[in-house]
């Protein structure tokens, strides 16, 4: 409070009023402001999953049991895309997301990267969501104050504080999971914090909390945000989710330049054809500013094959305007392994949200059947080209990642026969297809 205002307030209300005003101002610390800034973009995740005996060493008669899980996530796009840890949502059949305003939604698992333990989920919220302010992990300092927010032990939006204890830590948390280049902090991180934000004192995301050291007190770890956003760019890429192609290759985040540095372009890609060159910095797409790779994918996510987007590019200290036309992903860049074709004789393609709306369906999305192998299991059950796959067993199939998730579940063989939900026109019918445990 400025001195002149404080003195006037003192004369008007007495010294007690001045003390109260000063105390109130002192209470609004940088931590309070940081938490208030980021709170609307933090979500709490709840769900139930099956724990298998071989993973828990329980007796054979209790080989499978249902457990409640919890975790945290952060909103990275106002359309409802949320980044969290893969282990938070892996095997969860009903991912329940609670927002800070108390509203609750069922989330869809969009894509995942078990190696980095990151996953992308999506909710269809009633209004655009607040997005977490993203900082950088490139300039972090040991001893720097940090704040963690998460669903600790199910207590939503729990706030803890501490400092950065060390950087570039390698942590082996289990036989199958090893993390590298982690941020070590003494901010309290407990079960349920996984997938939640580690913030700097300005309320910017600098890491995703991922692990605690068993038996240790006050030691937690987070994935650096620069790595998180690069992985998120892949999880959210139009190449992965829409099978559309831009051909821009970027190997690093470029915060200092205020744009996305182009490392190279794919041969014969839209990026190469529009004149984009290695060393260019993309600063805008259709007038929206870019700071990192995930921003490019976010800007292109609602565009279709054939759409043109305008790029603002800095080259040799001058601004160049380029027009990039999105193309279909060529066959040689498609995934080599196609288990749906191998197992069942189906080839699938994502349907854009706007196109799916014409079905007037209660489902949130689906995959178009673009080919059916003659004499395959799918053909014998009457599935044909033009049908839409909207679900398998108990899961939605909005993206190819959803199908991959189902086919790679450890209990896949137990789902035999596999129930398919097929949309044909405005009618839904159900097909049970026999499958084997062999997926490749």
Query: How confident is the model at residue 62, as a pLDDT?
Result: 36
Q: Are residues 216 and 75 in the same domain?
A: yes
User: What is the DSSP code (8-state) at residue 363?
Assistant: S
Q: Is 117 a catalytic residue?
A: yes
Catalytic one of 41, 46, 77, 87: 87
Element (H, E) at 269: none
Residue 13 lies in a domain: no
Residue 254 lies in a domain: yes
Could you tell me if 187 and 160 are in contact, meaning their C-beta atoms sit under 8 angstroms apart? yes
The pTM score is: 0.74
Catalytic one of 41, 194, 250, 269: 194
Question: Mean pLDDT, the chain, as a whole number?
Answer: 84
First vs last C-alpha separation in the chain: 68
Pairing, β 95-98 against β 145-152: unpaired
Residue 82 lies in a domain: yes
Q: Which of 8-22, 60-74, 310-324 has the highest mean pLDDT?
A: 310-324
Catalytic one of 77, 86, 90, 117: 117
Q: Which residue has the higher pLDDT, 55 or 247?
A: 247
Kindly give the residue spans of alpha helices, DSSP state H, lying in 57-194.
86-89
Q: Are residues 277 and 323 in the same domain?
A: yes
Q: Is 194 a catalytic residue?
A: yes
* Domain end residue (candidates: 281, 299, 328): 328
How many residues can be counted in the chain?
440
The pLDDT of residue 54 is above 70: no
Which one, of 299, 241, 353, 267, lies nearest residue 78 by Cα?
A: 299
Q: Are residues 153 and 79 in the same domain?
A: yes
Which one, of 276, 277, 296, 274, lies nearest residue 285 by Cα?
A: 296
Phi first, then psi: give them for residue 304, nearest 5 degrees: -105, 165
CATH, residue 42 = 2.40.10.120
Q: Which residue has the higher pLDDT, 7 or 393?
A: 393
Element counts in the chain: helices (H) and strands (E): 13, 27
Q: Per the structure, how many domains does the chain have?
A: 3
Q: What is the pLDDT of residues 108-162, one digit of tens each?
A: 888 888 889 999 999 999 899 999 999 999 999 999 999 999 999 889 999 999 9
Tell me the two tokens of residue 392: 């398998």
* Domain end residue (candidates: 276, 297, 328): 328
* Domain end residue (candidates: 277, 310, 328): 328
Domain that residue 359 falls in: 337-433
Q: Are residues 281 and 211 in the same domain?
A: no
Residue 7 lies in a domain: no
Angle at CA of residue 168, ends 110 and 163, nearest 5°: 95
User: What is the DSSP code (8-state) at residue 202?
Assistant: T
User: What is the DSSP code (8-state) at residue 359?
Assistant: G
């Amino acid at each position: 409070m400025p001195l002149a205002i404080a003195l006037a307030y003192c004369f008007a209300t007495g010294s007690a009023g001045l003390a109260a005003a000063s105390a109130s101002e002192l209470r609004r610390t940088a931590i309070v402001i940081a938490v208030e800034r980021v709170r609307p973009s933090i979500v709490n995740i709840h769900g139930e999953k099956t724990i298998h005996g071989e993973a828990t060493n329980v007796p054979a008669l209790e080989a499978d049991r249902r457990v409640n899980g919890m975790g945290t996530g952060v909103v990275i796009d106002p359309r409802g895309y949320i980044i969290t840890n893969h282990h938070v949502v892996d095997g969860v059949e009903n991912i329940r997301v609670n927002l800070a305003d108390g509203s609750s939604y069922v989330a869809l698992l969009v894509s995942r990267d078990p190696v980095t333990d990151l996953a992308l989920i999506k909710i269809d919220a009633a209004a655009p969501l607040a997005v977490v302010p993203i900082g950088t992990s490139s300039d972090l300092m040991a001893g720097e104050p940090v704040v963690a927010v998460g669903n600790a032990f199910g207590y939503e939006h729990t706030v803890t504080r501490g400092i950065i204890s060390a950087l570039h830590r390698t942590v082996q948390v289990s036989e199958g999971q090893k993390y590298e280049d982690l941020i070590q902090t003494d901010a309290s991180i407990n079960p349920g914090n996984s997938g939640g934000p580690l913030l700097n004192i300005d309320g910017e995301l600098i890491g995703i909390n991922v692990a605690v050291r068993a038996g240790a007190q006050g030691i937690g770890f987070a994935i650096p945000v620069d790595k998180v956003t690069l992985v998120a760019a892949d999880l959210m890429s139009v190449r992965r989710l829409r099978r559309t192609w831009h051909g821009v290759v970027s190997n690093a985040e470029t915060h200092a330049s205020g744009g996305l540095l182009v490392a190279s372009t794919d041969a014969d890609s839209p990026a190469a054809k529009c004149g984009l060159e290695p060393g260019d910095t993309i600063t805008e797409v259709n007038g929206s500013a870019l700071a990192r790779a995930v921003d490019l994918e976010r800007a292109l996510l609602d565009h279709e094959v054939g759409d043109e987007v305008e790029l603002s590019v800095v080259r040799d200290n001058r601004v160049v305007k380029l027009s990039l036309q999105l193309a279909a992903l060529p066959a040689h860049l498609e995934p080599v392994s196609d288990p749906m074709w191998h197992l069942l004789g189906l080839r699938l393609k994502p349907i854009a949200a706007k196109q799916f709306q014409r079905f007037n369906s209660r489902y949130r999305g689906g995959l178009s059947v673009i080919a059916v192998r003659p004499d395959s299991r799918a053909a014998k059950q009457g599935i044909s080209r033009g049908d839409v796959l909207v679900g398998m067993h108990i899961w939605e199939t909005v993206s190819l990642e959803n199908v991959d998730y189902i086919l790679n579940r450890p209990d896949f063989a137990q789902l035999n026969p596999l129930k398919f939900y097929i949309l044909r026109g405005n009618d839904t019918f159900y097909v049970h297809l026999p499958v084997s445990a062999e997926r490749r």
